[in-house]
């Protein structure tokens, strides 16, 4: 008899509690897929994605990048075909990176008017005028030492990038991209004053409509390895911690972004994206300027590796992570997943 009374007692207590329970049941709005879709406020949209593209010398080249699945080195002709496919899929932005086979201490091929990047810009403006062409402005893929600027004259063991000597080279590179037709130049060398030097040079040449997307907050991250393989841009001595930001010093992000805006930046960027959501959110709170986030090669490669081992659903993980980047406040996302997302969003 006692064993039968306990369930009854529990039911009485349950109904007593539920009688006082709030009428709001939050699960009502998650009841079915259609309702969840109607109420979603964060959406990954193809119009907000920018696809990186590695362009190399030669013709007819479409060469796999081993550390970055589904990414390729492409010559100008094949790159145009790729960009046309991306435009047809609804993408509106492409970010060009040059791959160089003639390197020297100053990275002089970076501003060659006949370089692969400069040639591709012109071809893209003719073949896919609906695409906004962004270009990376840095020297690391063009210097024989792999650093992002011109080195000081000190002995090798203490050599570093000469900040002020590098500014002219970066401005000259940006000018060559703008003259070729780039819509947005994106200085990534993390030299103090690089945005101001580029803005002054462009304006002095009458290229006032060319925008600048500043790699304002670029950390010295362990997640760039696959990209350095792709661009053949790893430094052959030391590292880049004297100019890229220390991940342990997040407060410097606001200083960097403020300086770039003061110098004429039109768009700010945080790189990497997925592991610096707090920094993206802080810049979104502080500034009204357009904000980009770069989901970098290491983040991309890790997701592919986990999916290949059956440890996660790649599509679901990508949409979840990119939703988080948007929630943090990014307006644009630069990603190697751009084509996949464009075809599914």
Active site residues: 218, 271
d(CA 49, CA 345): 11
d(CA 151, CA 161): 4
**Residue 331 DSSP one-character state:** S
d(CA 297, CA 300): 5
Distance of CA 274 to the CA centre of its chain: 10
CB-count burial class (<10 Å; 0-12, 13-18, 19+) for 266: middle
* Contact of 59 with 123, CB cutoff 8 Å: no
CA atoms within 13 A on the CB side of 74: 18
d(CA 320, CA 295): 13
d(CA 321, CA 310): 18
**H-run or E-run covering 308:** helix 297-308
């Amino acid at each position: 008899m006692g064993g039968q009374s306990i369930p009854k007692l529990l039911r009485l207590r349950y109904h007593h509690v539920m009688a006082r329970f709030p009428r709001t049941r939050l699960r009502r709005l998650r009841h079915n897929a259609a309702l969840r879709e109607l109420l979603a406020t964060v959406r990954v949209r193809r119009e907000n994605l920018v696809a990186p593209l590695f362009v190399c010398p030669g013709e007819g080249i479409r060469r796999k990048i081993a550390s970055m699945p589904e990414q390729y080195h492409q010559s100008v002709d094949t790159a145009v075909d790729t960009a046309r496919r991306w435009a047809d899929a609804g993408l509106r932005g492409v970010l060009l990176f040059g791959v160089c086979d003639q390197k020297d201490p100053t990275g002089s091929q970076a501003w060659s008017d006949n370089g692969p990047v400069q040639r591709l810009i012109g071809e893209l403006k003719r073949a896919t005028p609906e695409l906004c062409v962004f270009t990376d402005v840095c020297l690391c893929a063009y210097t024989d030492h792999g650093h992002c600027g011109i080195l000081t004259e000190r002995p090798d063991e203490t050599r570093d990038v000469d900040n002020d000597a590098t500014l002219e080279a970066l401005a000259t590179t940006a000018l060559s991209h703008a003259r070729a037709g780039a819509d947005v130049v994106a200085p990534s060398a993390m030299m103090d004053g690089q945005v101001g030097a580029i803005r002054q040079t462009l304006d002095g040449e009458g290229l006032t409509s060319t925008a600048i997307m500043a790699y304002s907050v670029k950390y010295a991250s362990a997640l760039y390895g696959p990209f350095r393989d792709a661009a053949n841009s790893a430094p052959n001595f030391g590292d880049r911690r004297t100019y890229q930001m220390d991940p342990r010093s997040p407060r410097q992000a606001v200083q960097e972004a403020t300086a770039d805006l003061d110098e004429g930046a039109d768009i700010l960027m945080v790189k990497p994206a997925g592991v610096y959501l707090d920094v993206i959110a802080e810049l979104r709170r502080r500034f009204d300027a357009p904000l980009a986030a770069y989901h970098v090669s290491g983040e991309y490669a890790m997701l592919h590796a986990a999916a290949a081992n059956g440890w996660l659903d790649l599509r679901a993980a990508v949409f979840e992570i990119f939703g988080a980047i948007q929630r943090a406040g990014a307006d644009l996302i630069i990603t190697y997943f751009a084509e996949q997302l464009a075809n599914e969003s």
